[in-house]
Amino acid sequence: MDKGWGLTLETSSSNSDRAGFFKSKPVFGFNLSPKYNAGEMFSSSDEKRSIVNEVDFFSDKKPIVKKENSQGDNSIRTDDQFVVNTGLQLVTANAGSDQSTVDDGVSSEVLEDKRAKIQQLAQLQIELERMNSENQRLKGMLTQVNSSYSALQMHLVTLMQQQQQQQLNSKTENTHPHEVVGSKTDEEKKKENNGTIVPRQFMELGPSGSKVDPMDEPSHSHSSSEERTLSGSPRTNMELVSRDKAINREESPESESWAPNKAPKLMNSSSKPVEQSTEATMRKARVSVRARSEAPMISDGCQWRKYGQKMAKGNPCPRAYYRCTMAVGCPVRKQVQRCADDRTILITTYEGTHNHPLPPAAMAMASTTSAAANMLLSGSMPSADGLMNTNFLARAMLPCSSNMATISASAPFPTVTLDLTAQNPNAALPNYHQRINQANPHFQFPLPAGLNHPNFAASMSAPQMPHIMGQPLYNQSKFSGLQISQDNIHHPSISHDTLSAATAAITADPNFTAALAAAISSIIGGSHPNNGNSPMSGPSSNNNNTSSFPGN
């Protein structure tokens, strides 16, 4: 008979090393299921004894005590996740009372010993209750802090944007009060500026937003471009300016050829200048998703039309270009390319914001990319601010995440990279990707040991992004065939509720930082796999499983 009283807590999960303190379910490696079948916590014995069959450690109610003959090991099994091996051979809680059946052969010493053990058990029970309540309290505090933090961040970003806009407006008025909009070509502008490119502000919000976005109206591209060169923003970013020109070029024909409904938008532009300008800058921000998939394209709920394919330098796999066709003139595009080093990895880069209602299937992804773009805009403030804002995002995510998302706020495209492919991004990073990022100035966030991205800008983690994206990454049979190895998912069990909460958080919150942080927090809370009934499973007409995928 094992009289050892060492309380061994065996956990079959690694959750305990992952801030379990703040999780709703597992606390200290326990799954706080109200019912603990303690029938197995008693060692086998030939002796009949009254045993505690059920112990409700965490309920307000007293543990349920049943008299029952039972045999078992010394462990407490909890919802098939954790096993608490008590090493105890417990007898009834009121051992020695009339209701207990004690073997007459047991000595008084043994009885006292048992009483002591029972007291210890009770103390443990109380302690667990205390910890549970404390866990709940801390969890609530964390939630509150997160929300407050997000609100503060948003407020700060808004203030900075307003301030920037004020500066922009004042400078525009003071330095070029009589410029005629739309009267000069880019070439003329270059000549006027001695061929130099005048830096401009990344964001153009506020009253000056009455400027027409070049991507919305080709005929205004020059004027808009000119106004940008006149902006005289304190920010000196040649790349952004250059990129803007490229965008002007790209968008103008696009608007002519496949965006006939841009005219109404243009007419609204005067009434909603901010939206217009924001969309223009959205065009620059990108969200890149790296995921294992043998399908030609991950299904994200939107309809895409392929408009080009190019061989990219440094990657034998061609890069395919898609644009959203769910609405005429939708500016959203995406690039799909297989990783050069590991062709099972599919790199999908989203750019832009949808200008149309989205089906539920596409909401999560679209909101995420849109919000990411928003976030990156805030991270594109003048250098110090940009750094700070980007740190906001990472810091918002880091408390609950570990390693797999990257912010590259540097030009030419500020990009958020979500790596869903491996636990160790160092191993997963393709050289191609590294090359891209090596060219960029970057900074890095502190991450758990061994999980940093040495070549990425700001790293943060989102191995749970499949769920954040509302994408049925576990279900490849239905649409995309997207393969996410469970080995590569830190939290292989994500509940549908969690998914919903995460998706809702993102779709409801235009701010990527807050939304993503909330989503990750929610996901870290743990649960079980989505069975593939994700909203992402909606029909996507032409976007999937074609044989034309680059690299296939």
Partner DNA sequence: CGGATTTGACCCGCGC
Partner DNA sequence: GCGCGGGTCAAATCCG
- Look at residues 220, 214, 349 and name the one whose alpha carbon lies nearest to residue 286: 349
**Which among 28-36, 65-73, 300-308, 486-494 is the span making contact with DNA, rule CB under 7 A?**
300-308
Binding mask 192-211 for DNA (x = CB under 7 A): -----x--------------
Binding mask 115-154 for DNA (x = CB under 7 A): ----------------------------------------
∠ CA 262-265-271 to the nearest 5 degrees? 160
**Which among 105-113, 152-160, 205-213, 242-250 is the span making contact with DNA, rule CB under 7 A?**
242-250
Beta bridge partners of 276: none
Whether the CB-CB separation of 473 and 420 falls below 8 Å is answered with: yes
Q: Which amino acid is at 337?
A: Q
Q: Which of 23, 319, 442, 490 binds DNA (CB under 7 A)?
A: 319
Please give the Cα distance from 404 to 418 (Å, whole number): 6
* Nearest residue (CB) to DNA, 118 versus 336: 336
327 lies in the site for DNA, by CB under 7 A: no
- Look at residues 544, 496, 501 and name the one whose alpha carbon lies nearest to residue 519: 501
Q: How far is the CB of 293 from DNA (least distance, A)?
A: 16
Range 355-394, binding DNA (CB under 7 A): none
**Which among 75-83, 237-245, 371-379, 380-388 is the span making contact with DNA, rule CB under 7 A?**
237-245
**Binding residues with DNA: total (CB under 7 A):** 40
Q: Which of 174, 271, 477, 547 binds DNA (CB under 7 A)?
A: 547
222 lies in the site for DNA, by CB under 7 A: no
246 lies in the site for DNA, by CB under 7 A: yes
186 lies in the site for DNA, by CB under 7 A: yes
* Nearest residue (CB) to DNA, 113 versus 239: 239
Q: Which amino acid is at 289?
A: V
- Look at residues 529, 511, 513 and name the one whose alpha carbon lies nearest to residue 462: 513
Sequence-distant (≥ 6) Cβ neighbours of residue 430 within 8 angstroms: 339, 340, 341, 342, 345
**Which among 148-156, 201-209, 252-260, 462-470 is the span making contact with DNA, rule CB under 7 A?**
252-260
3-state secondary structure of 106: coil
* Nearest residue (CB) to DNA, 430 versus 526: 430
Phi then psi dihedrals of residue 185, to 5 deg: -90, 170
Q: Which of 73, 79, 239, 294 binds DNA (CB under 7 A)?
A: 239
Range 41-100, binding DNA (CB under 7 A): none
Task: Report the number of secondary-structure helices (H) and strands (E) in the chain.
Answer: 13, 15
3-state secondary structure of 267: helix
Burial 476-501 (b: 16+ CB within 10 A, else e): beebbbbbbeeebbbbbebbeebbbb
Q: Which of 117, 189, 222, 243 binds DNA (CB under 7 A)?
A: 243
Q: Which of 34, 140, 207, 253 binds DNA (CB under 7 A)?
A: 253
313 lies in the site for DNA, by CB under 7 A: yes
Beta bridge partners of 31: 26
Range 444-483, binding DNA (CB under 7 A): none
Please give the Cα distance from 192 to 485 (Å, whole number): 57
316 lies in the site for DNA, by CB under 7 A: no
333 lies in the site for DNA, by CB under 7 A: yes
Q: Which of 308, 316, 446, 450 binds DNA (CB under 7 A)?
A: 308
Cis peptide before 412 (omega within 30 of 0): yes
438 lies in the site for DNA, by CB under 7 A: no
* Nearest residue (CB) to DNA, 218 versus 529: 218
Q: How far is CA 382 from CA 379, 388, 389, 411, in A?
A: 8, 10, 10, 13
Q: How far is the CB of 223 from DNA (least distance, A)?
A: 15
288 lies in the site for DNA, by CB under 7 A: no
Q: Which of 4, 310, 344, 497 binds DNA (CB under 7 A)?
A: 310
Whether the CB-CB separation of 520 and 404 falls below 8 Å is answered with: no
Binding mask 489-528 for DNA (x = CB under 7 A): ----------------------------------------
314 lies in the site for DNA, by CB under 7 A: yes
Please give the Cα distance from 103 to 109 (Å, whole number): 13
Phi then psi dihedrals of residue 301, to 5 deg: 90, -10
Please give the Cα distance from 459 to 447 (Å, whole number): 8
Beta bridge partners of 347: 290, 337
* Nearest residue (CB) to DNA, 263 versus 311: 311
Strands of the sheet with 8-11, listed across from one edge: 8-11, 82-85, 75-78, 36-37, 54-55
* Nearest residue (CB) to DNA, 463 versus 550: 550
* Nearest residue (CB) to DNA, 349 versus 530: 349
Q: Which of 119, 166, 268, 546 binds DNA (CB under 7 A)?
A: 546
* Nearest residue (CB) to DNA, 306 versus 490: 306
| Integer Rg of the chain from CA | 29
Q: How far is the CB of 319 from DNA (least distance, A)?
A: 6
**Which among 34-42, 198-206, 248-256, 420-428 is the span making contact with DNA, rule CB under 7 A?**
248-256
Tokens of 377: 């805009």
Strands of the sheet with 405-408, listed across from one edge: 304-311, 318-324, 333-338, 345-351, 286-292, 415-419, 405-408, 458-460
Give the footprint of DNA on this chain (CB under 7 A). Answer: 186, 197, 238-239, 241-243, 245-246, 249-250, 253-254, 257-258, 303-314, 319-321, 325, 333, 335, 413, 541-543, 546-548
